Structure 1
Amino acid sequence: MNPFEYERADDPGRAVATVAARPGAMFLGAGTNLVDHLKLGVERPDLLVDVTRLALDRIEPRPGGGVRVGATARNSDVAAHPLIRERYPVLASALLAGASGQLRNVATTGGNLLQRTRCPYFRDVTTPCNKRTPGAGCSALEGHNRDHAILGASEHCVAVHPSDMAVALTAVDAEVRILGPAGERALPVADLYRAPGDAPDRDTVLAHGELITAVDLPDLPMAARSAYRKVRDRASFAFALVSVAAAVEVRDGVITASRVVFGGVAHRPWRAHRTEEALRGASAADEAAFRAAADAELAAARPLAHNAYKVPMARNVLVSVLRGLTREETR
C-alpha cells in the first residue's frame, strides 16, 4: 500500500474544497471497496478525506411525499427503515441481497453507488485493463468473461456495475443530490453512470471533488408494488450474474405502467425501456407477454464467449418477478 495523508471532514463544503484542490485526493466512506483497491494497488490516492462523520445519515420523509436518504446512511439502516420497507420494497430487498450483514452494517449509501467493478482484470494490476489504465487493452474480451456485460459494452470494456442498490434506485426514478466546487446539483440515478464507450475509466459523470450528499426517492405509488431478484453463484456475499428490479401498476387486470431495470448485464443499471413499452396494455396474467417484453430488450444483447447464458437467465428472472408482482391480480 502506498503512503497517503488522511483527514476527517467535519463539514461537507470543506470536504469538497479539500478534495477538489488535490488531483490525487479521494473521499473515504466505509472503505469496503476502496480499501481493497488500496491494498491491490488499483487506487493510489495521496490524500483520503473521511466523510463518514458528516451529518448526512438521516432517512426522512420529504414534504409532499417521497423519502430522502442521506449519503452516509448505512445500508442495513436503510433496508430496515419502515418507510423504505413500506413504500420501496424493491430497495429494501436489493440492499438485503448485497454483501454480508457485517458489511451492510458499515457500508454507506453514497459509497454503495460509487463502488467499482469486480472484473478480475481490473483488480489485477499485472493484466491490461482500459478501466484501470486507459489504452492498455481489455483482457476480458478474449479472456474469462463469464460474469461480464451483454448489453451496452464496447470494444474497450465489457465490465459490469456491481451495485444492487443502484439497480433498485433506477427502478424507482430516484435522484442523487451532489455537492461540488460549483455548488449543488441533482440528477437521476439513471444518469449518474456512463456507458464505457472509449473512456471506460470514467464510471460516472461526477467531476473531481463532487460529493454525493443524499438520494431522493420520489412519491411513486407504483414503487409499493415492486421487487428485486438476484441470481448469483451462491446464496450470500456474491455479486449478481443477473438481477431484476421491477415495479408495476395494474388496473382491471391490465399492466398500465412499469419500471424494469436489469443488473449484472451492463456497465450501468440497465433500464429496459423496450420491455416497459411492450408491457403497457398487457394482461397481468399473460406470461407469454412477459417473455416477449423481455425479448424486446434482450434482442440487443451481444454475448461474449462465456456468458451467453445471461440472455435466457435475464428473461426467466424477469418473467418470475413479474409473475410475483401480478399474482394478486390473476387470482
Structure 2
Amino acid sequence: MSEKTTDRPVFPFTAIIGQNEMKLALILNVIDPKIGGVMIMGDRGTGKSTTVRALVDLLPEIPVVANDPFNSHPSDPELMSQEVKEKIARNEPFEIINARINMVDLPLGATEDRVCGTIDIEKALSEGVKAFEPGLLAKANRGILYVDEVNLLDDHLVDVLLDSAASGWNTVEREGISISHPARFILVGSGNPEEGELRPQLLDRFGMHAEIKTVKDSELRVAIVLQRLEFDESPETFRKKYEKEQLELTKKIAVAREKVKSIQIMDDLFYTISLICSELDIDGLRGDLVTNRAAKALCAFEGRDTVESNDLYRVMPLCLRHRLRKDPLDTIDSGEKIQEILAKYLE
C-alpha cells in the first residue's frame, strides 16, 4: 500500500498531454466527492495510473484531528470517529492540523480484513474494550481510494468498496461485536477492457466513466515520449518547470470546492437532464443526480455561478455512457448516442 506521502517524485498533473476526459472526471470528483467516483477504462500504457497518482499533488489541505487513524473532521459528526465524538462530549481538547487529502492504493490481492479492518476478539473479551485495527477504508476516509485493475478484483470486494463509498460508513462485525467508522472517500478504479468489464450493476454505481485510447497522432506520441524521458532523467528539475501551473490548479480546485455549494441549475436544464435520462432508458435516478452534481462542479471549476447547456454536453457522456449497458456482453457507448439526444433537447 502506498499513500500520499512518498519519496518517489510524481509526474506533474499539469504536464500530462491529452486524456482530457480522464483529467476532467478526476478533477470534478475532487471538487464534489458526492459525484461517486470514476471508472477509467483504456488500453495498456495510456497513463491511467500515472494520471491518478499525479492528482495527489493537486489535492488541497483539509482540517483533520491530529493522530487520528480515520482522518476525522474536527467539527462534522458525519466525518469523525467515535473516539473523537466521545472527546467532544467530554469537552476534552484535541489538536487540529491541516493535512493534504490522502490517497490510498488498494493492492489487487488485498483481503477483506485488510480493506475493512479487524476486531481483536481476545483483547475485547479480556480487557472489555472494542479493540479495532483499522483497514484501508479508515485510511481513505475523506480522501481517495485507488484500485488499479478493478475489473480483476473479486466482485464481493468491489461490492464492499462501493457500499462504503455510497454510504460513507464502514461496519465490521465479529462474534457479536460491531464497530462502525466513517469511510467517505472518492473511489477511483482503472482497468483494461480487454481483461473484462465490471458487471453493469457494479459499473452503474461509479459516478463517472472515462474512456481513454492510445494516442494515434505521431507528433503527439513523440511529444509524450520526450516528456517522459525528460522526467525520468531528472524528475525534480522537470517538476519545477510545472510548479506554477500545479499551484494555480490546486488553488482553483480549492476555490471550486467551496463555490460548488452555491451553484445554481435553472429549472429548464434541471428538467432537461431528467428528460434525457428517461429517453436513454437509464435505470434508477443515479444518472440524474450525478449529472446535476458534475455540471455544478464543472461550473464551479470554471468560476461561473450558473450551469449552462454547454456544461451538459461536456459531463453527460461521462455520467451516463456506462449506464446504457444493460447486458454484460454489451460494449460501452462512446457517448455519440448521448450527444445526439443532447443536441435534440438543447438546440
TM class by smaller structure = under 0.3
The structure with the largest alpha-carbon Rg is: 2
Please identify which structure carries the higher strand content. Answer: 1
Please identify which structure carries the higher helix content. Answer: 2
| Structure-1-length-normalised TM-score | 0.26
